Amino acid sequence: MANLVISGLQKSFGKRNALSGLDLTVQDGEFCVVVGPSGSGKTTLLRAVAGLERVDAGTVAFDGEVVNDLQPRDRNVALVAQSPALFPYLTVFENIAFGLRARGITRAETIQRVEQAAEVVGVYDLLGRYPRKLTDGECQMVAIGHAIVRDALLFLFDEPLSRLDTVRREAMRAALKRLHQERSMTAIYVTQDQMEALNLADRIVLLRDGRVEQEGVPIDLFERPASRFVAGFFGPLKMNFLAGTVARGEGGDAVRLANGGMSVPLPPNRLPKDAADGSAVMLGLRPEHMMRAVRVSPPDGTLRYEAEIELIQPTGSRVRATFRMGGEPVVAELQAHDVSAPGEKVSIDINLKRATLFDAETGKALSPTASASASALVDGASPAHVEDSAG
């Protein structure tokens, strides 16, 4: 496996900049998941690393060796494209095995590797079929098998599960996770699926306009977004944003919401010292950081809000409930039995220790003091334990 270092990568298509001085390091054995909106440079990044796209500037290095001038076949990189191109005249077995013999792999070892890869991706029963007899999802699984059968330095996956149904997609996520744990393969995996990113990643990289907007372990982007863009893009549910102004007072700091004049009290030290009274901010509240009130009085750092539910969207064990706060729509993710119908009035506890404040002009997150950050981390470190932290 390889240690990948990308420095100042630039690539333009006409007047459009696909990569704008991108810097990225992927450690040996790391599973790096890249997310971002359409046009952010995800596919171009993979193609540049694979050698399929000539870059305008910058370097790509494997284990300290710059490979810009190496042909794709000489980079020993396995790429799975979103739309796999299988050889129509070869069987599934032959498609997966293609290239092994050219690398000097014996027939006996080829058979063993192909059968093992086919078992991993779930196409063992299809080894004798031709691509024309496969679904689009099965073709994607064969392409993954063709990649993992190799001893590549680096594995590149461009939305490889996008055509699979839900059941197969979940099975393939688990298979790739196990494969990475067993082989410690170095990989860059592109996806638009938030849960896929959370499930698979050692580290997540969010691209915006050909640059890295933020990177870190999954919980970093969820709990500590660097900007409103990150907070709005990353997460199973979109963060709620409420416009307001800083209100400093002897009784503590607050955010006075722009619509309705409601004041939201903030936990101690939540605002940075240089945030001026009256300055414009955006208050970010994640749906997962709210719960139906179960205590007589709310815990410290929690706002109890009497909400009149306007819309409910059941998702199984959970329900997304929309209500108004300061005149703006807000979505909370509650337990399925917490609310039954629109018009119902529900007491909701909002964990303000896990709220995020953003500068209204720049969109950058306003960092709290160290003590406030530590307090928020103690309250809860993962989206799966929101109720425990808030209640």
Please report how the helices 166-183 and 136-148 are oriented relative to each other, as an axis angle in degrees rounded to 10.
0
Contact status, residue 182 vs residue 124, Cβ threshold 8 Å: no
Q: Is 241 exposed, middle or buried (0-12, 13-18, 19+ CB in 10 A)?
A: middle
- As its CATH architecture, domain 228-390 has Beta Barrel (2.40)
Amino acid 379: pLDDT: 55
Amino acid 249: pLDDT: 83
Amino acid 391: pLDDT: 36
Q: In which residue ranges of the chain is CATH 3.40.50.300 found?
A: 4-223
| Element at 263 (helix H, strand E) | strand 263-265
- What is the identity of the amino acid at 119? E
Amino acid 100: pLDDT: 87
Residue 268 CB contacts under 8 Å (≥ 6 apart), including other chains: 252, 371, 372
Q: In which residue ranges of the chain is CATH 2.40.50.140 found?
A: 228-390
Considering the four listed CATH numbers 1.10.40.30, 3.40.30.10, 3.40.50.300, 3.40.1360.10, the one that applies to the domain covering 4-223 is 3.40.50.300
Residues in the chain: 391
Mind listing the pLDDT tens digit of every residue in the chain (391 residues)? 679 999 999 999 998 999 999 999 999 999 999 999 999 999 999 999 999 999 999 999 999 999 999 999 899 999 999 888 899 999 999 999 998 877 888 999 999 999 999 999 999 999 999 999 999 999 999 999 999 998 899 999 999 999 899 999 999 999 999 999 998 999 999 998 888 998 999 999 999 999 999 999 999 998 899 999 999 998 888 899 999 999 988 778 899 998 767 899 999 888 888 888 999 999 999 999 999 998 888 888 999 999 999 999 999 899 999 999 988 999 999 999 999 899 999 999 999 999 999 999 999 999 875 444 545 544 544 444 433 333 3
Cross-sheet strand order for the sheet of 263-265? 263-265, 254-257, 240-247, 280-285, 356-359
Q: Which stretches within the chain are classed as H helix?
A: 42-50, 92-97, 107-121, 136-148, 166-183, 194-200, 218-223, 228-233, 370-379, 386-390
